[in-house]
């Protein structure tokens, strides 16, 4: 099997230049993401005093699953980056989980100042659940046998031939791509993926990896 270029291989020891690069990339992406969701979401609504809001029954549960998915993805992505930078396994797991939760906490704090909704403990619980799904697996198995995934396809509300539905969709979800990708849960499906082959140990490592991905089951969560 062809080895990847040295730059792309995880460092076998702590590599401070890589740590700095990863931290800089994450900081830049976080700043960009903040500007994005502030323009596409928060700028559309009035602000008020910080308050709490129970939204557990909102959006038919899609928002809660989205929080779990986002924190799972952010935790795993951060772990992968810092493993590449040479952090030890346990340290990279904790950095990944904490970073995922901090990203989501900053969003929740912004929510807390919005008059139309507020800080949701339900959202925080799902954030922690998503990071734990990653962290526990990585700590116990050093692998992700269960994955959260997302698929999406645009919804054409005009096909219903009802002006009220079309206008309501525009009011709720917006019309631009940057708004729709954040708000239109009707266009999204979240999946829990499990690979039965990953539970079966085979001596031939190359065959085991192929077997792991050939046997892959997907369950639509929401």
Pairing of strands 217-220, 188-194: antiparallel
The rounded distance, in Å, linking the Cα atoms of 13 and 87 is 7
Determine which of 34-43, 125-134, 186-195 has the lowest per-residue pLDDT on average.
34-43
Residue whose entry in the numeric block shows the structure tokens 């002006």: 163
Using CA atoms, how far apart are residues 131 and 137, in angstroms rounded to an integer? 10
How much is the average pLDDT of 157-170? 89
Per-domain boundaries in the chain: 15-144, 145-222
pTM of the model: 0.88
Which residues, 6+ apart, have CB-to-CB distance to 155 below 8 Å?
169, 184, 186, 187
Confidence label for 222 from pLDDT (cuts 50, 70 and 90): low
What's the pLDDT tens digit per position in 62-118?
A: 999 999 999 999 999 999 999 999 999 999 999 999 999 999 999 999 999 999 899
Cα 8 to Cα 18, 26, 77, 81, 168: the distances in Å are 11, 17, 15, 10, 47
pLDDT > 90 in the chain, percent: 60
């Amino acid at each position: 099997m062809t080895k990847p270029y040295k730059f792309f291989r995880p460092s076998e020891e702590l590599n401070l230049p890589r740590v700095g690069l990863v931290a800089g990339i994450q900081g830049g992406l976080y700043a960009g993401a903040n500007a994005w969701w502030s323009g596409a979401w928060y700028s559309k609504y009035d602000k008020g005093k910080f308050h709490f809001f129970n939204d557990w029954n909102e959006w038919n549960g899609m928002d809660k699953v989205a929080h779990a998915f986002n924190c799972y993805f952010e935790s795993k992505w951060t772990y992968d980056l810092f493993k590449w930078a040479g952090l030890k396994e346990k340290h990279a797991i904790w950095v990944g989980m904490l970073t995922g939760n901090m990203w989501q906490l900053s969003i929740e704090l912004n929510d807390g100042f919005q008059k139309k909704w507020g800080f949701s403990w339900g959202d925080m619980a799902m954030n922690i659940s998503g990071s734990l799904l990653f962290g526990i697996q990585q700590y116990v198995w050093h692998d992700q046998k269960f994955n959260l995934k997302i698929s999406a396809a645009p919804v054409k509300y005009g096909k219903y031939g009802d002006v009220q539905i079309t206008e309501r969709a525009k009011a709720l979800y917006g019309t631009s791509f940057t708004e729709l990708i954040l708000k239109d849960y009707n266009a999204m499906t979240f999946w829990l993926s499990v690979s039965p082959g990953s539970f079966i140990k085979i001596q031939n490592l190359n065959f085991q990896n192929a077997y792991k991905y050939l046997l892959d089951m997907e369950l639509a969560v929401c």
